[in-house]
Amino acid sequence: MIIKKLEVGPIMANCFILGCEATKEAVVIDPGDDADRILMELAKSELKVKYLINTHGHFDHVSANKRMKEATGAQIAIHPQDEPMLHELSQSALMFGLSSENSPPADILLNDGDEITFGEITLQVIHTPGHSKGGISLYTKGHLFAGDTLFAGSIGRTDLAGGDYDTLISSIKEKLLIFDEGTIVYTGHGPETTIGNEKRMNPFLR
């Protein structure tokens, strides 16, 4: 699997390009901004985007949805509880003194247990609410894309609309820490970590 990571936008959110080496089909997880950079990286690897997957609806993770869909024709996928947020991005960004384009509506609504396949790769959808009501994580063997649910040594904030601390902790402990300790966790901000590291070192999970 091809994995490319880009830090995008003023809040430096992590955007991931995942590609199937055999078929060159790809997904973009959290196209938060800087559509031109994302498109350039796709072109370099000769990848064709099938889906734009939003781990949640906060503007710093979805602001490039519109331009990416226009440029690639890829389908936008998000959990139904966060889908309404796509239509309020300009207002949400303004609260932080920033700007954002509203997203087109979702083409696909993702629920817990769904699967997303591109080329020879399948991602399992895991509903992990707590940072937002419709937050999701994505798993394929050895790799977990956790959005803003889990960070290296920290967890997602829960003081925004739809956030809840107890729910977030339950999501992490019951749905993410069950994976093999060597599983690499790709976070929505900051560096990668592993399930084992977070079990042992994360102060919020002790």
pTM for the model: 0.96
Check residue 168 and give its pLDDT. 98
Q: Which two tokens stand for residue 13?
A: 């959110």
Per residue in 139-188, pLDDT (tens digit) is: 999 999 999 999 999 999 999 989 999 999 999 999 999 999 999 999 99
Check residue 95 and give its pLDDT. 86
Closest CA to 106 of 77, 133, 69: 77
A 10 A CB-CB count for 113 gives 9
Q: How many CA atoms lie within 13 A of 186 on its CB side?
A: 23
Helix (H) or strand (E) holding 28: strand 25-29
Residue 110 region, left (φ>0) first, then alpha (ψ -120 to 50), else beta?
A: beta
Q: How confident is the model at residue 133 (pLDDT cuts 50, 70, 90)?
A: very high
Residues contacting 161, CB < 8 A, separation 6+: 132
Check residue 206 and give its pLDDT. 85
Per residue in 53-111, pLDDT (tens digit) is: 999 999 999 999 999 999 999 999 999 999 999 999 999 999 899 999 999 999 999 99
Sign of CA dihedral 53, 113, 167, 182: negative
**Helix and strand counts by DSSP (H, E) for the chain:** 6, 14
Task: List, in order of start, the domains of the chain with CATH numbers.
Answer: 2-205 (3.60.15.10)
Closest CA to 105 of 80, 141, 137, 123: 80
Q: Mean pLDDT throughout 120-133?
A: 98
